[in-house]
Amino acid sequence: MKMKVTKLSALIAAVILSGCNDSDNDNSSKFEQPVLSTKSLNIIEKDGYQFKDHNKDGEVNPFEDWRLSASERADDLVARMTDAEKAGAMMHGTFSISAGILGTSDSRLVFDGGSPMFPNNTVLIKERLLNTFITRQSAAVEVIAEDNNKAQEIAEQSRLGIPLSISSDPRNHFNEAGGASVGSGEFSKWTETLGMAALDDVEMVKNFADIIRQEYLAVGINQALHPTADVATEPRWGRVNSTFGEDALVSRRMTRAYVQGLQNSDTDLVKDGVWGVVKHFAGGGPQENGLDAHYFVGRKQVYPGNNFDYHRIPFKGAFEAGVAGVMPYYGLPIDAVDKSGTKIEEVGFNYNKYLLTDVLRGEEKFEGVVLSDWLVAGDCLADGPCQNGQQTLTDSEMNPFAYLAMPWGKEDVDAAERAAQFVEAGVDSFGGIDDPSALLASIESGRLPIERINLSVKRIMVNKFKQGLFESPMVDPAAAKTIVGKAEFQTAADDSQRRSVTLLKNEGDVLPLKTAELGKVFVSGIGADFAAAYGLTVVDKMADADTIIIRTQTPGLQAFAWNPFAIIMPMGELGFISDDDFALRDYELAKDSKNDAQLCYPDSEKYPALDGEGNPHPLAGKAVGRCEYTGGAAYDLISAAIDSGKRVILDVFMIRPTALGNIADDIAVITANYGTSDQAFLDVITNKNGAQPEGKLPFGLPFSTNVVEEFGLEDVPSFDEPEKAKITQFEFGFGLSYK
C-alpha cells in the first residue's frame, strides 16, 4: 500500500485517474476514480486512487473514501462531529446577498461585513457551522458560479471540510414571487407547472427536470426546493400557480417524472443528481377561504368535504421516484380525518408527529430528509405584527422578514422547547433558520437525545454523499455560461409555452388568423414595438382597430397588512369587475377567533402626503393595512374592447383559475396560458410553423368568486364538487383545438 499527500493549487483542479494503480494493490478494475475538485484541500494517493483530505489529518478516513457506501461514510462523519457541528448541519440558512435578502440581477454573495440580522456568509459557515443554504441570487450565471465556488472554498476551511448543499426555489418560469420563486434570468424559461399539467405529458416534464438539473449543477446549485405536489382544490388560494392543478392523479404522474429528471435516476438520488424536495406534505391546497398559511389569519386548512387523503396522492409519485427530501406546509389542519379514521392533531404540519413519523416514515417508508418550511421554528409574538398584521406606520417601516415566522399551534412555546418539539415530530432540517443556538441548547441540556440528532444529521450527509458533493462541489464558471439557457434548452422551453396554451372559446372558428388577416391591431399586454416587429399592423386606438388583443392575468386581492407573501401571491377575487363594484367579503374583514387580527384593515393609519424627504409619498392617503383589488384596470379595458364592437382576443395568464362568467359571452376568442411569451402566444394564434393550442384546463373555471364562496368546498376538486353545475363554467380538462 502506498499513500502520498499532494497539494492542488489551481482554483478548480479536476483529477480523473482511470486505471491508475500501484504494484501493491491493483483495484483499477473495481472502482472508477471520480473527478475531484478543490481549492485548498490536500489530495491523498492511496491504493492507486486519489482522495480529498477533508479533515486535514493526512489519512483517508472512511467518510473521505468514495469507495464506501453513502451510509457507511455518513456514519463515520457523524461520529466525528461535535454537538455544535451537528446543530449547524441541521440549519438550512439563507445566503446573504449584497442587494438584500431577495437579490437583484447584479447581486453578489456577501463574505465580509454584514449585520447582526444578516450576518455574512463567512460567519454563517465558519462560526455558526452551517453547510446548507438557499440562494436567491439572480446575477449572471458565471457570477453565481463564482460566488458558489467561493462559498465552497470557505466550507473547505472548516474543521471537517463538509461541502455545502446550495438550494433554490424554482427559477425557470414566468411568475416571479420573491421568497417562493426566482426570476429566470439567463436560465431556460418554461411554462409554469400548471402548463405542464395542462399537457399531461410525462416525458416533457421529465425532460424539463433533466434540463434544469443540468442548469442548476452548472452554477453550483445542487438542491431544488421543488416540485410542489399540493393539489389546487381551492381556486382562491394564492399559490395555485406553483402546483400541477386540481387532479391528484395528474399531479402524481407529473411529480414522479419531475423528481426522476431532477435526481438523475428513476428511483433514487445519485451522482450528478439535484436533491429534490417535494412540498408541501401532507398537502397545502385546502386553505380556508383561499387565504394562505404564510400569515397568521390564513393559517387554517379545512376539510369540509372530508377529503384529507386526496391531498396525499401526488406525494406518492415522489416517493416512487425516491425523492431525497420532503417539506411539510405551515397549515394548521382543522377537522381533518384520514382514511384510518385518525383525527389529525390541530397543529402545523411541521410539528405533527403522527403525519411526519407514523405516516411519512412509517406508512410511506420515506427515508430522506424532512426539511421544514421556512421560519416555522421562529417566534411569532402575540402583541406584534406577526400575529396582528402591519396596521401602523411603525409596523410598516419594519423589515417584514424580521418578524416573519409561522409556528402555528406552537406560538406560545419558548424557542428552545419549540426546536425540541420540531425534531421530536420528525423534522431533520430547519428551513430558513441560520442560528442553531436554540437547537444546540436543547441538545446540550439533554432535552433531545443525541441519538435522535445523529439520525437527522446522517440523513442530511447521506444525500450529500449520494450526489458526490464530497468529491466535486465546485463548478466551472465558463462552462456554466455555455450550458445555462443554451439554444436547445430554450427551444424545448418555447415548445412547452406554445403547446400549453388552452383555447377556451373560438366563436365561428376565428382562429387561427395569419398576421395579415388580423388587420389593424390594438394590443394591450404586448409591447407595441414587439408586435410591429412580429408583423402586426399596430394602431394606437381601439376605434381604429380590426382586432383587439388583450393579454392580462388572473386578478386578485393583495393584503398589505400582512407579510410580503400576501402581496406577491394575490388571493381572493377571481373575476374581472370594476373598482366601483368591488367590495371586500365578510371573511376578509372578520376578526380572528384567537385575537382581533383580520385580513384587511380599511381604517388603519394612512400614509402621509409627503415622505421623509419632503417628496410626494407614493402611497399617500392609503391605509397601511389596506387590501387592494388588482383587476379593475383590466376590467375597464376589456369592457371598452367589448363595447367597441371589434373582434376581441383575450388571453389570460392563469396564475389561478379565472372567473369569466360576466364577460365570456361577449368575447369571440379566449385563451388561457400558464406562462407564455408574446412570441409564443402570437405563434399560436397565427398558427406559425404549425403552432397550435394543445392545453386542457388543469382546473375548472368558476362562473364567479361568489359561487365559489357560496357552494365550494376547499378540499374538493371542481369535478367532484356536489354543486359543480352551479360553480363551474369551463370544466377541468376542457380545451378546444383548431379545425
CA distances from 469 to 39, 223, 416, 518 (A): 14, 11, 32, 55
Handedness of CA 226, 110, 295, 607 (dihedral sign): negative
Q: What is the pLDDT of residue 107?
A: 83
Percent of the chain with pLDDT over 70: 93
pLDDT digits (tens, 9 = 90+) for 693-716: 999 999 999 999 999 999 999 999
Q: What is the distance between the alpha carbons of residues 429 and 370, in angstroms, rounded to a whole number?
A: 6
Tell me whether residue 116 is exposed, middle or buried, using C-beta atoms within 10 angstroms of its C-beta: 0 to 12, 13 to 18, 19 or more.
exposed
Give the DSSP H/E element, type plus range, for residue 680.
helix 678-686
* pLDDT over 80 at 166, yes or no: yes
Q: What is the pLDDT of residue 691?
A: 97
Give the pLDDT band (50/70/90) at residue 149.
very high
Give the pLDDT band (50/70/90) at residue 27.
very low
Contacts of 413 (CB under 8 A, 6+ apart): 407, 421
Contacts of 75 (CB under 8 A, 6+ apart): 62, 458
Q: What is the pLDDT of residue 20?
A: 39
Q: What is the distance between the alpha carbons of residues 357 and 353, in angstroms, rounded to a whole number?
A: 5
* pLDDT over 80 at 14, yes or no: no
Q: What is the pLDDT of residue 180?
A: 59
Domains of the chain: 1-62 (no CATH), 73-483 (3.20.20.300), 491-556+630-730 (3.40.50.1700)
Q: What is the distance between the alpha carbons of residues 120 and 367, in angstroms, rounded to a whole number?
A: 33
Catalytic residue among 292, 373, 434, 651: 373
Q: What is the pLDDT of residue 519?
A: 97
Q: What is the pLDDT of residue 22?
A: 39
Q: What is the pLDDT of residue 611?
A: 79
The residue with cell 402581496 is: 567
Q: Which of 320-329, 384-393, 474-483 has the lowest mean pLDDT?
A: 384-393
pLDDT digits (tens, 9 = 90+) for 634-692: 999 999 999 999 999 999 999 999 999 999 999 999 999 999 999 999 999 999 999 99
Q: What is the distance between the alpha carbons of residues 416 and 433, in angstroms, rounded to a whole number?
A: 13
Q: What is the distance between the alpha carbons of residues 525 and 463, in angstroms, rounded to a whole number?
A: 44
The residue with cell 416533457 is: 204
Cell numbers that stand for 521 in this block:
391591431
Please list the residues that pair with 505 across neighbouring strands: 670
Longest CA–CA span in the chain (Å) reads 89
Give the pLDDT band (50/70/90) at residue 16.
very low
Give the pLDDT band (50/70/90) at residue 177.
low
Q: What is the distance between the alpha carbons of residues 264 and 393, in angstroms, rounded to a whole number?
A: 50
Give the residue ranges of DSSP H helices in 25-93. 70-80, 83-89
pLDDT digits (tens, 9 = 90+) for 73-113: 999 999 999 999 999 999 999 999 886 656 566 788 999 98
pLDDT digits (tens, 9 = 90+) for 353-382: 999 999 999 999 999 999 999 989 888 988
Q: What is the pLDDT of residue 7?
A: 57
Q: Please give the single-letter amino acid code of residue 346.
A: E
Is cis: bond before 282, omega within 30 of 0? yes
Q: What is the pLDDT of residue 13?
A: 45
**What pTM was computed for the model?**
0.94
**What is the phi-psi region of residue 628: left when phi exceeds 0, alpha when psi lies from -120 to 50, beta otherwise?**
beta
In the DSSP assignment, the letter for residue 312 is G
Angle, in degrees to the nearest 10, between helices 437-444 and 415-425: 80
Residue pair 693/501 in contact by the 8 Å Cβ criterion: yes
Q: What is the pLDDT of residue 739?
A: 85
Q: What is the pLDDT of residue 99?
A: 64
Percent of the chain with pLDDT over 90: 82
Q: Which of 93-102, 495-504, 570-579, 598-607 has the lowest mean pLDDT?
A: 93-102
Q: What share of the chain is helix, strand, coil (3-state, %, to 5)?
A: 35, 15, 50
Q: At residue 589, what are phi and psi to the nearest 5 degrees?
A: -115, -5
pLDDT digits (tens, 9 = 90+) for 276-314: 999 999 999 999 999 999 999 999 999 999 999 999 999
Give the DSSP H/E element, type plus range, for residue 262.
helix 248-263
Q: What is the distance between the alpha carbons of residues 344 and 734, in angstroms, rounded to a whole number?
A: 35
* pLDDT over 70 at 259, yes or no: yes
Catalytic residue among 147, 210, 230, 247: 247
- For the segment 156-181, the average pLDDT, to the nearest whole number, is 86
* pLDDT over 90 at 220, yes or no: yes
Residue pair 44/50 in contact by the 8 Å Cβ criterion: yes
Q: What is the pLDDT of residue 115?
A: 72
Q: Please give the single-letter amino acid code of residue 541.
A: K
Q: What is the pLDDT of residue 29?
A: 57
Q: What is the pLDDT of residue 200?
A: 97
Residue pair 688/695 in contact by the 8 Å Cβ criterion: no
Within a 13 Å sphere around the CA of 192, how many CA atoms are in the beta-carbon half?
Answer: 26
Q: What is the pLDDT of residue 734?
A: 98
Q: What is the pLDDT of residue 680?
A: 97
Q: What is the distance between the alpha carbons of residues 183 and 177, in angstroms, rounded to a whole number?
A: 8
Give the DSSP H/E element, type plus range, for residue 218.
helix 202-219
106 is catalytic: no
Please list the residues that pair with 431 across neighbouring strands: 92
Average pLDDT of the chain, as a whole number: 92
247 is catalytic: yes
Q: What is the distance between the alpha carbons of residues 677 and 498, in angstroms, rounded to a whole number?
A: 9
pLDDT digits (tens, 9 = 90+) for 341-354: 999 999 999 999 99
* pLDDT over 90 at 2, yes or no: no
With CA atoms as reference, report the closest residue to 667 among 514, 502, 579, 550: 550
